[in-house]
Structure 1
C-alpha cells in the first residue's frame, strides 16, 4: 500500500469497467486515482468490473506512485466489492459512495477486520443532506482517513442550484471541513468540478476550495490535473517558512521551553504547527510526483 503520509493534490476518477484506461491513468500525473465501481459502471457490469479492478490491483503496479483508491457501491454490491478488494497490498483505501451514517462506515470497517485487513483506509463520500448533517459522527468513525463531498448528488438531493461563486454550497463545505478538524483527521478532498474547457474558471473555483479549508481536489478529466496541482502546490517560500516553524518548535520542545516563537517573535501554537505540517505534506507529494 502507498503510505499516505503525503497529502495528494489531485484524485483522478477512472471508470472501473474500462481496463484499458486503468494503466494509462497511472501516467496522467495525478497524485491519486479513484477507480470507480459505482456510478461509472452499469448494474449489469458490476461483477465483471469488480473482477477486473481486483486483478489490476494484483498485477504488480509500480511502487511509490499514485495512491490507489476504489469507490465501492452500497448494499450487497458494496459488500461484494469489499470482499474482493480487502487485503490487496496496492490498495490505499475505499471511497464509500453515498455514505449516510457512521454506522454504515463502521460496518465496512468491521468487514475489513473480519477479512484480516488491518490497513485499508476509508473515505466517506457525502452526497445527501443527511450525510452532511451527520458528518461529525461520520468523520469520527473507524478507519476514516479523509472526507469528500459529492456536490452534484448533494445539489439534486437538496434542490440547491449552485451559481458561479458556489456560495450555495458553503454550508456543506464548511461542515465537512469543521468536522474533519474536530475529528483530528486530514482535511477533506475538494469536490469535483464539471469545468474542463475553461482553465481560468477552474483555477478560480479551485482556489476558492483551497481557501475554504480543503486540501487537494477530485478530478473527472486529466486536463484538470495541472490546474488543481498549481492551486495546491506550496511555494518555495511557504515550504521554507513551514520548515523553519517546525524546527523552532521542535528545538523549543527539546529544550523544555514552554514557548516557541517564529522569526518575527510571534507565538507558535498547535494550530500554527498543524498548518505547517499540512504545507509540508502537500509539498512532499509534489516532490514525489
Structure 2
C-alpha cells in the first residue's frame, strides 16, 4: 500500500519560480503538473523545467508525482529519467488498456489513475486491480462537465472510487481539488463531506487551501490516544475494555492503524 497524504499541492510545470515555494508549503505531496495548468505551447518548456528541477537535486522532502498529459509519449519518457520513486499521475484513465500503454513507455513506475469520465468511474474496479496502480483519484471538474448533476453524482463517484480502491488493497483516495481557491468555508465543508465518506487527504490548487484541508484530516490527540489504547488492548486477542468503558475487539484494529498512519510530520 502506498503512503497516505493529508495534503497535496499542484504546481504548474512551466513555473519553476514556484517549485521551491511548493516544496516548502508543508504539503505532504507535490504534483508537478504538465497537463491542465500548462498552455499547449508551453508543454515542452514545462517538461524541461521539471526535469531540471529533479536533476539539480534541489527538491525538498515532500513526496513527488508528475501529472502527465494523457497518451503523451514524451511526457512519459521524461518522467522515466526522474528518480524512481516519482509517481505518474495519469489523467483520463478509462480502462486497463490506458494503463498498459503507460507501463510500456514508463515501466516500473507507480501509477496514480485519475478517473475523470463516466467510463472511468464504471471501470474503477478493474483499473484499481492493475498491478502498476498504487492509488486512484477523481477528476471532479471533468466528471461534472461530462455527466452533469450535483453533489449526489459526485458522492456516487467518490464512493465508487473508494470501494474499488479498498477492495484492491489500495489506500483511501484523496479528494479532488476544490476550485474556488478563496472560498475556505466551502472548502472546509466539502472536505468534511469527503472525509465522512471515507476519503483521506485532498489535493490543493493553492497553498492557501492547505491548512484547511490539514485541519479536517489531522487526528486529534483523543483520536491518537484511543488508537494506541485499542492496539494495545486487541494485541491479546478477543474482546477488551478500554479505560473509558468502551468494548473493543480485533475488528477495530484497522481503524486504529489508519488513525496512527495519518500522523504526517510534514502536513
2:190 aligned counterpart, secondary structure: helix
> Structure 1-normalised TM-score?
0.85
Deviations 1:163-218 (A, max 9, x none): xxx23311111101111111110001111112322322211111111011110001
Q: Please, which of 140, 149, 160 is the counterpart of residue 138 of structure 2?
A: 149
Shift of 1:23: 1.6
**Within 2, Cα distance between the matches of 1:90 and 1:236?**
36
- Count of matched residue pairs: 264
Measured against aligned partners, the alpha-carbon deviations of 1:27-66 in whole angstroms (never above 9, x if no partner) come to 1221111111011122222222112111111221345x21
Task: State the SS of the aligned residue for 1:277.
Answer: helix
Tell me the equivalent position of 1:265: 247
CA distance in 2, matches of 1:37, 1:56: 14
1:177 match: 162
Query: 1:71 matched to which residue of 2?
Result: 67
- 1:22 aligns with 19
Who is 1:44 aligned against? Answer: 41
Match of 1:277 among 232, 246, 257: 257
The match for 2:205 is 220
Task: Give 1:70 shift.
Answer: 0.6
Alignment counterpart, residue 54 of structure 1, candidates 21, 44, 51? 51
Where do residues 107-118 of structure 1 align in structure 2 (5 Å cutoff)?
107-113=101-107, 118=108
The counterpart of 2:227, out of the listed 232, 242, 266, is 242
In structure 2, how many angstroms separate the alpha carbons of the residues matched to 1:181 and 1:268? 19
SS at match of 1:185: coil
Taking structure 1 as reference, are residues 262 and 181 closer, same or farther at Cα in structure 2, changes over 3 Å only?
A: farther
Deviates more, 1:52-61 or 1:128-137: 52-61
Q: 1:8 and 1:280, CA in 2 relative to 1: closer, same or farther beyond 3 A?
A: same
Instruction: State the Cα distance separating 1:91 from its structure 2 match.
Output: 4.6
TM-score by length of 2: 0.92
Match of 2:180 among 170, 174, 195: 195
C-alpha offsets along residues 147-169 of structure 1, whole Å, 9 cap, x if unaligned? Answer: 11111110111122x3xxx2331
